[in-house]
Chains A and B, each alone.
Chain A
Amino acid sequence: MTAPPVDRFHQALLDSLHPPTWRNPASAPRYDLVVIGAGPAGLTAARGAAAMGAKVALVERGLIGGVCINTGCAPSKAIIRTARLYADMRDATDFGGQSPGEITIDFAAVMQRMRRVQARLARGDSVQRLNEAGVEVFFGEARFVGPGAIAVAGETLHFGKAIVATGARPMTPTIPGLAEAGYLTNETVFALTECPPRLLVIGGGPLGCELAQAFCRFGAHVILVQDEPMFLPREERDAAQILSDALARDGVEIHLNTPAVAVRTEGDKRIVDLVSQGDKFSVSVDVILTGIGRSPNLDGLNLEAAGVRYDAERGIHVDDFLRTSNRRIYAAGDVCMEHKFTHAAAASARIAVRNALFAGRRRLSALVIPWCTYTDPEIAHVGIYVREARRANVPVRTFTVLMHDVDRAVTDGEEDGFVKIHVRDGTDRILGATVVARHAGEMINGLSLAITSGLGLPAIARVIQAYPTQASAIKLAAEAFSRTRLTPWRKALAGLWLAWRRGLPAKERGRPH
């Protein structure tokens, strides 16, 4: 059920990302930069350095592209797109359409499209393209053999600087019986060949919520358990509540504050014991999917030989310049960062390259990193949360626009959600924002631009936007801010001016209070 079919799309992906006939090049005497790991951070670092004329080696033990293209963003977004299609078919009558009779789900076709999409995206990251960009690619396990050398597949690569970008992998749940019963993670779930009739998802983070909703829309009975009181615990309450309602509307069976405590197998079923408020109960499922977080990939690197400090939880220890305890070695991406996102990894890699090769002083803390959970509706955030600001004694005002007040959201029938923009009280400075909307991931980018560029809300209010668009919710929030500047004093002053223009006698003009 989880052996990926080796179809032409999968073969095409392998041809791009790890050709079966690949032979590593002979190593150069010395590289300006050796990058370990060819995920988003490693690829960005290697390409960026090579583009600047550096002699670059890139080491990868599996498939180029890392989690993003192989077991993360690309496959999940591909199947989420199909899941949305099925949801739209289901809801066709809400839009004045007709559902095409009995909707049957061809899961094999869903997964074949996913592989086609992966193969298409893989072409951009192929070994051939990397070679053309001047990057020497080595496949094999990288292992530090000293403070300035790495061994890989029988070769020793000597470097001036190195960047470790080995990424992260799914954390292993410690639930008795789970390992024996078997479970899926993001590394294995996309190899499913049949949609499980009953699926238990353990973990209400981004992965768990996204895939719970998608598989539910593919017809699985999905049970989603989360040991926290709300989904996406770092997001704000209202966002998590809307998501919870949306999941329930799709038919996901939700259990919050409910840890899974034991698993056993009965025939071909997995029996999972759950505990909620002290009450123990069991569910019977066909497949278990876990998404409880990610831990850094450190195994086999022999970081001690290079004098690089690390721990199993935080990963490689870096300073704000992404430099490790070995001044010649930097790290980037999931292996060293709290924010484990493709775009954050790429951004950190750019910093690491500049700082490593060109004596740069770019800081990780200066990055404005948005993120998005691609449920339906999507939940996107950038900048600070209100609770963080208040704990830092920063006074905050939030300007909220409900999507049901946005014309385009109404015409699209996509009215669930909101835009919240947090500004420092007494100023127009945007500190952060949360968007919950069907296309929140697209909408958050405008707010990231504003924060990065130091644009305040009045600047956003002045921009003329195409009408009708859902992103105009951001402008509506900015306009709400502008209206708060129309104080009674200003309004009275304007009234006086207009009265004077109309030629009213002074005693009838009123006076500002």
Chain B
Amino acid sequence: MVEAPAKSDDDLLDGFQRAAFNYFVEHYNPTNGLVADVSRVGAPASIAVVGFALTSYLVGVERGWMTRAEAATRALTTLRFFGDSDQSQAPDATGYKGFFYHFLDMTSGRRVWQSELSLIDTTLLLAGMMTAGVYFSADTLEEIEIRERADAIYRRVDWQWASADGGTAWQGWKPEGGFLHYGWEGYSEGTILYALGLGSPSRPLSAASYGAWTATYQWENIYDCEFLYAGPLFIHQFSHAWIDFRAIRDPFMREKGSDYFENSARATYVQREYARRNPFSFVGYGADCWGVSAGDGPGFTTLEIDGRKRRFQGYAARGAPYGPDDGTISPSAALASLPFAPELALSCMRHIGACYPEVIREGRLPNSFNPTWPADGPGSWVSQDDFGLDQGVLVLMIENYRSGLIWSLTRRCPYIGAGLRRAGFTGGWLS
């Protein structure tokens, strides 16, 4: 028997990207454009996942997986729904003040789970709308409407209403209790939020807001690597899925002589180094098996394994190297680091594919797996559901690595450029 030749890097990536893209084909409601948060039956829509979907359709067109007409129809359906949906203080409205609730009923599009009016998730939705607005540039009625609706939805957002006293953005709002106060201190995935919030021509965030937020940053030397720390890997990826941070610098990064792209590369190396050190002796961790991020886990329970108590978690914001960590690896987060550290990400994927074949189902990377957890049968514990956020960030980050498509689209979005400049970014493509 002749052994099948190993896949080329491009074939490997193409397979993962296509499988990720198919999530948005499979979990889409054609009547309103909403996309399910996870693959679980009955799951609501997540507005952030819809944002990833809107950009993924464009990738699909470029890759030949979807016709431009189909992508335009999906984009327009989505934009029409969000543009015309209930924006009010009603507890089951779709949004308020231009923002949208985090989770919506897949059919009615109304708020579910008493979820919050989410600034970051609205931002990711808007990012998807912005890319669609730039991409669909033809003078057809359909594409003109896409551009106009995307612009109108963006302009409708009242960022000033959502600003706290110090100028920084609140994290969310609920009709039952007002603004949420999670106390986000330090670096997070919020950079894109400030880019869009500051770039608004109607009701933008204050110019001082970004400085107030970055005043909480901490530049750390960990494992002899100097960078702006954040524990979960996804934090170093989400803003980059849309914005090209190569060589553009805000005042903080100018002070440190780095940029956010380089920072994400260093964060990736720190994650890998953490796995190599494997301080808590989790099964599987190593130079080619890393990626600690927010996501699913085996469950909230404590087990004694090999004479040692192991406390496992369910869905949690895991991070490295500070923790929390329960031995759960996120392959999708590892591969989403592809643009920053391609050799590391590819090596990790090949290792996981070879050593943990049960992890990759129908060519798709799961949210997480945990080889430390004593599984019932052969193989590791693997998260059962596919998560839209994972698949979305994979589609975008693989595409940015392969062609830079999304970065080139957002570079042509005047609002994002304006927002970055107001935040103090200079250099690179902003010059």
Q: Closest residue to B91 on the A side, CB-wise?
A: A278
Contacting A277 at CB < 8 Å: which of B174, B219, B279? B174
Instruction: Please determine whether A387 and B185 come into contact, CB atoms closer than 8 angstroms.
Output: yes
Which of A96, A229, A416 contacts B183 (CB under 8 A)? A229
Decide yes or no whether B114 CB sits under 8 A from chain A: yes
Chain A proximity of B179: nearest CB distance (Å)? 10
- Write the chain B residue with the least CB distance to A417: B322
Q: Which of A88-140 contact B (CB under 8 A)?
A: 91, 93-94, 96
- Whether, in the assembled complex, B165 has its beta carbon less than 8 Å from a beta carbon of chain A, the answer is no
Beyond A257-B182, A278-B178, whether A415 also contacts B280 by CB under 8 A is yes
Q: Is the CB of B280 within 8 A of A404?
A: yes
Interface mask (B198-236 → A, CB under 8 Å = 1, otherwise 0)? 000000000000000001111111101010010000000
Given contacts A278-B176, A404-B280, contact A386 B224 (CB under 8 A): no
- Interface flags, B311-337, vs A, CB<8A=1, else 0: 100000000011110000000000000
* In-complex Cβ contact of A418 among B182, B216, B309, B322 (8 A): B322
A residues less than 8 Å from B361 (CB atoms): none
A453 within 8 A of B: no
A236 to B216, CA, bound (A): 10
Chain A residues near B216: list those with CB within 8 A. Answer: 387, 390
Q: Please classify the interface of chain B as helix (H, G, I), strand (E, B), loop, or mixed, using the class held by over half of its residues.
A: loop
Count: A-B pairs, CB below 8 Å: 97
Nearest CB on B from A145, distance (A):
46
> In this assembly, does A373 line the interface, its C-beta being within 8 Å of a C-beta of chain B?
no
A86 to chain B, nearest CB (A): 15
A23 at the interface (CB under 8 A from B): no
Tell me which of B222, B280, B304, B322 has the highest count of chain A C-beta atoms within 10 A of its own C-beta.
Answer: B322
Taking CB atoms, residues of chain B closer than 8 Å to A253 are none
- Interface segment among A9-17, A158-166, A392-400, A488-496: the answer is A392-400
> How far apart are A455's CB and chain B's nearest CB, in angstroms?
19
Contact B220 A420 (CB under 8 A): yes
Q: How far is the CA of A466 from the CA of B246 in the complex (A)?
A: 45
A241 B322 Cβ-Cβ under 8 A: yes
Q: In the complex, A229→B181 CA distance in Å?
A: 6
Which of these, A237, A386, A391, A405, contacts B279 with CB under 8 Å? A405
CB-defined contacts of B116 to chain A, threshold 8 Å: 277
Least CB distance from A7 to B in Å reads 37
B174 touches A397 (CB 8 A): no
Q: Which of B104-148 contact A (CB under 8 A)?
A: 114, 116
Q: How far is the CA of A238 from the CA of B185 in the complex (A)?
A: 10
**Stretch binding the partner chain, chosen from A303-311, A318-326, A440-448, A477-485:** A477-485
Contact (Cβ within 8 A) A277 B176? yes
Interface residues of B in 281-317 (CB under 8 A from A): 304, 307-309, 311
Q: Is the beta-carbon distance between A386 and B280 smaller than 8 angstroms?
A: no
Residues of A within 8 A of B174 (CB): 277-278
Most interface-central of A397, A415, A484 (chain B CB within 10 A)? A397
> A208-227: contact bitstring with B at CB < 8 Å (1 yes, 0 no)?
00000000000000000000
Name A387's contact: one of B177, B215, B219, B221 (CB within 8 Å).
B215
- Across the interface, A402 reaches (CB within 8 A) one of B181, B185, B322, namely B322
Q: Residue-by-residue, is A222-248 near B (CB-CB < 8 Å gives 1, otherwise 0)?
A: 000000111001001110011001000
- Report how far A237 CA is from B182 CA in the complex, Å: 12
User: CA–CA, A233 to B216, complex, Å?
Assistant: 13
Report the contact-size class of chain A (Cβ under 8 Å from the partner): 35 or more
Contact assessment for A484 and B218 in the assembled complex, using a CB-CB cutoff below 8 Å:
no
8 Å CB contact of B180 from A230, A233, A277 = A277
Tally of B interface residues using CB under 8 Å: 37
A180 within 8 A of B: no
A501 within 8 Å of B (CB atoms) = no
B40 within 8 A of A: no
The smallest C-beta distance from B96 to any residue of chain A, in angstroms, reads 14
B304 and A93 form a contact (CB under 8 A): yes
A415 to B176 alpha-carbon distance, docked (Å)? 41
B218–A386 CB distance below 8 A: yes
Q: Contacts A94-B309, A400-B221, A484-B221 given; indicate if A275 touches B322 (C-beta within 8 A).
A: no
A96 to B186, CA, bound (A): 39
Q: Are B323 and A242 in contact (CB under 8 A)?
A: yes
A235 to chain B minimum Cβ distance, whole angstroms, is 10
Looking at the assembled complex, report how far the CB atom of B90 sits from the nearest CB atom of chain A, in whole angstroms: 15
| Chain B residues positioned under 8 Å from A508 (CB to CB) | none
8 Å CB interface, A363-416 against B: 386-387, 390-391, 395-400, 402, 404-405, 410, 415-416
Chain B: CB-nearest residue to A403: B279
Task: Give Cα distance in the complex from A279 to B216, angstroms.
Answer: 29
A483 to B324 Cα, complex, angstroms: 28
- Distance in Å from the Cβ of A491 to the closest Cβ of chain B? 13
The reply to whether B304 and A404 contact each other, CB–CB distance below 8 Å, is no
Q: A279-B114, A405-B279, A415-B279 are in contact. Are A396 and B219 (CB under 8 A)?
A: yes
Contact of B221 among A238, A397, A405 (CB under 8 A): A397
Asked if A507 is an interface residue, CB under 8 A from chain B, the answer is no
- Residues from chain B with a CB closer than 8 A to the CB of A391 are 215
Asked if A513 is at the interface (CB within 8 A of a chain B CB), the reply is no
Residues in B whose Cβ lies below 8 Å from that of A502: none
Bound: A397/B311 CA distance, A? 33
Also in contact, A481 and B221, with CB within 8 A (given A230-B183, A415-B279): yes
B255 an interface residue at 8 Å Cβ cutoff? Answer: yes
CA distance A229 to B185 in the complex (A): 10
Greatest chain A CB density within 10 A among B175, B224, B307, B323 is at B323
Which residues of the other chain, B, contact A398 by a CB distance below 8 angstroms? 218-221
B114, B177, B185, B307: the one within 8 Å of A96 (CB):
B307
Q: Looking at the complex, which one of A228, A275, A415 makes contact with B177 (CB distance below 8 Å)?
A: A275
Given A94-B308, A277-B174, verify A400-B220 contact (CB < 8 Å).
Answer: yes
Docked CA distance A94–B305 (Å)? 10
Question: How many Å lie between the Cα of A228 and that of B323 in the bound state?
Answer: 22
Whole-angstrom distance between the alpha carbons of A91 and B307 in the complex?
10
- CA of A410 to CA of B178, assembled, Å: 45
Residue ranges of A at the interface with B (Cβ–Cβ < 8 Å): 91, 93-94, 96, 228-230, 233, 236-238, 241-242, 245, 249, 257, 275, 277-279, 386-387, 390-391, 395-400, 402, 404-405, 410, 415-416, 418, 420, 425, 480-481, 483-484
Task: For the complex of A and B, list the 5 residue pairs with the smallest distance between their C-beta atoms, beginning with the closest.
Answer: A278-B177, A278-B176, A229-B183, A404-B279, A398-B220
30 contacts between A and B (CB under 8 A): A93-B304, A93-B308, A93-B309, A228-B181, A236-B185, A236-B218, A242-B323, A249-B311, A257-B180, A257-B181, A257-B182, A278-B175, A279-B176, A387-B215, A390-B215, A390-B216, A395-B255, A396-B218, A397-B220, A397-B221, A398-B219, A398-B221, A399-B221, A402-B322, A404-B277, A404-B321, A410-B279, A420-B220, A480-B221, A483-B224
With A397-B221, A399-B220, A400-B220 given, can you name 11 additional A-B contacts, CB distance below 8 Å?
A229-B182, A229-B183, A236-B218, A241-B322, A242-B322, A278-B176, A386-B217, A386-B218, A395-B255, A402-B222, A480-B221
Residues of chain B having any CB pair with chain A under 8 Å: 114, 116, 174-178, 180-183, 185-186, 215-222, 224, 226, 229, 255, 277, 279-280, 304, 307-309, 311, 321-324
